[in-house]
């Protein structure tokens, strides 16, 4: 669906060259929600502008649905962009237009007849949950409602790709979740390919199927979200995973328990999928006569299933403790003995 090959983007300034994107290769499948995450300055915004042709790569090619966006211009590019829509962090609505008129705007530009525009607008207002608000102005809407208008407008021309540039960053957590659920619903209903740029791992965890992690213009890690959560490789990815796994909060607890309970083993246990629902700790206590002290625990839901971490102290006879650890390993549960916080 979307193929980026050997993409680099270099800007020339008075102070020299700035490499915003460097040697990026990505494949995004049709109908998936693909997340690109990174901190400020990582190159995310440049990446999304390359996808819709607002920027041309210095080297490499951008192919969207069989069309090389990086090599076309003029009318061909304008036609291609009708199938690549975008929603923004700050909504970018026309404040002098009503909800209905904002949604109709791209249809007007495309020359769609009025009767067809009105029918399409009604369908979209219902789709995004804004029934009864068609005559309201943006100043009369909440942040979440404004973003729903932005989503409806982006869908007006039946795009094949929806680009989301930090689309929830200006929203409170509850409203963020409602917008993410709407995007997930749209993805399932319409089979729309969604590319989502963010600096929040919660956003990735909640709706994305796969993710690419960017740092200093490069993709340092990519893969299925559940796999990245389970086994992050790059340091920056580990930091992002900590945002939603609660691992940072557990450090103080680990330090304290290492002091107070010098015997036994402090173990980080990672559960994936159905294992998160099994009474495995109870099984260890009964089967091996060990004491299990829970230090910290957390379960996160991803689109591919649940992911959980549990930090425990396992104490008892050395042989029994080792047998308990062996059982965890035999159940394909990732375990890590922690010697230091």
List beta partners, residue 102: none
CA nearest neighbour of 197 among 67, 90, 46, 7: 46
> What is the model's pLDDT at position 246?
61
Cα–Cα distance for residue pair 227/304, rounded to 1 Å: 9
Contact (CB, 8 A) for 234 and 220: yes
Cα–Cα distance for residue pair 162/155, rounded to 1 Å: 8
> What is the model's pLDDT at position 305?
77
> What is the model's pLDDT at position 29?
95
What is the pLDDT tens value at each position of the chain, 341 positions in all? 899 999 999 999 888 899 999 999 999 999 999 999 999 889 998 999 999 999 999 999 999 988 898 888 888 888 888 889 999 888 899 999 999 999 999 999 889 999 999 999 999 999 999 999 999 999 999 999 999 999 999 999 999 999 999 989 888 989 999 999 999 999 999 999 999 999 998 899 899 999 999 999 999 999 999 888 878 899 999 888 877 766 555 666 667 777 777 778 888 888 776 666 677 888 888 888 888 888 777 777 788 777 778 888 888 888 888 888 888 888 777 888 887 65
Q: Which two tokens stand for residue 263?
A: 């015997």
Q: What is the pTM of this model?
A: 0.85
Contact (CB, 8 A) for 304 and 321: no
> What is the model's pLDDT at position 286?
86
Burial of 286 (0-12, 13-18, 19+ CB in 10 A): exposed
Domains of the chain: 2-243 (3.40.50.300), 246-337 (3.30.70.260)
> What is the model's pLDDT at position 273?
67
Strands in 193-198's sheet, in edge-to-edge order, are 84-87, 161-165, 193-198, 33-37, 210-215, 218-224
Q: Is 24 left (phi over 0), alpha (psi -120 to 50) or beta?
A: beta
């Amino acid at each position: 669906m979307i193929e980026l090959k050997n993409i680099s983007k270099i800007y020339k300034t008075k102070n020299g060259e700035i490499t915003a994107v460097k040697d990026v290769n990505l494949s995004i499948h049709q109908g998936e929600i693909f997340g690109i995450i990174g901190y400020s300055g990582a190159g995310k915004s440049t990446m999304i502008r390359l996808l819709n042709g607002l920027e041309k790569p210095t080297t490499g090619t951008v192919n969207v649905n069989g069309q090389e966006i990086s090599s076309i211009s003029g009318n061909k590019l304008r036609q291609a962009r009708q199938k690549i829509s975008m929603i923004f962090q700050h909504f970018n609505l026309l404040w002098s237009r009503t909800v209905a008129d904002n949604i109709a705007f791209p249809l007007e530009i495309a020359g769609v007849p009025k009767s067809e525009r009105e029918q399409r607008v009604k369908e979209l207002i219902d789709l995004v949950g804004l029934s009864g608000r068609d005559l309201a102005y943006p100043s009369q809407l909440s942040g979440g409602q404004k973003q729903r208008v932005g989503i409806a407008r982006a869908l007006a021309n039946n795009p094949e790709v929806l680009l989301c540039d930090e689309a929830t960053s200006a929203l409170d957590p509850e409203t963020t979740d409602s917008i993410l659920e709407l995007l997930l619903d749209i993805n399932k209903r319409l089979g729309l390919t969604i590319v989502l740029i963010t600096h929040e791992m919660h956003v990735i965890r909640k709706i994305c199927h796969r993710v690419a992690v960017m740092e200093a213009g490069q993709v340092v890690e990519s893969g299925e979200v559940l796999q990245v959560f389970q086994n992050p490789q790059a340091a920056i990815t580990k930091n992002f995973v900590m945002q939603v796994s609660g691992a940072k909060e557990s450090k103080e607890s680990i330090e304290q328990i290492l002091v107070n309970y010098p015997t036994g083993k402090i173990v980080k246990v990672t559960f994936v999928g159905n294992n998160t629902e099994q009474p495995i700790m109870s099984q260890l206590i009964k089967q091996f006569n060990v004491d299990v002290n829970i230090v910290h625990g957390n379960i996160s839901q991803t689109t591919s299933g649940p992911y959980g971490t549990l930090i425990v102290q396992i104490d008892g006879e050395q042989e029994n403790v080792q047998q308990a650890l062996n059982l965890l390993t035999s159940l394909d549960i990732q375990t890590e003995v922690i010697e230091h916080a």
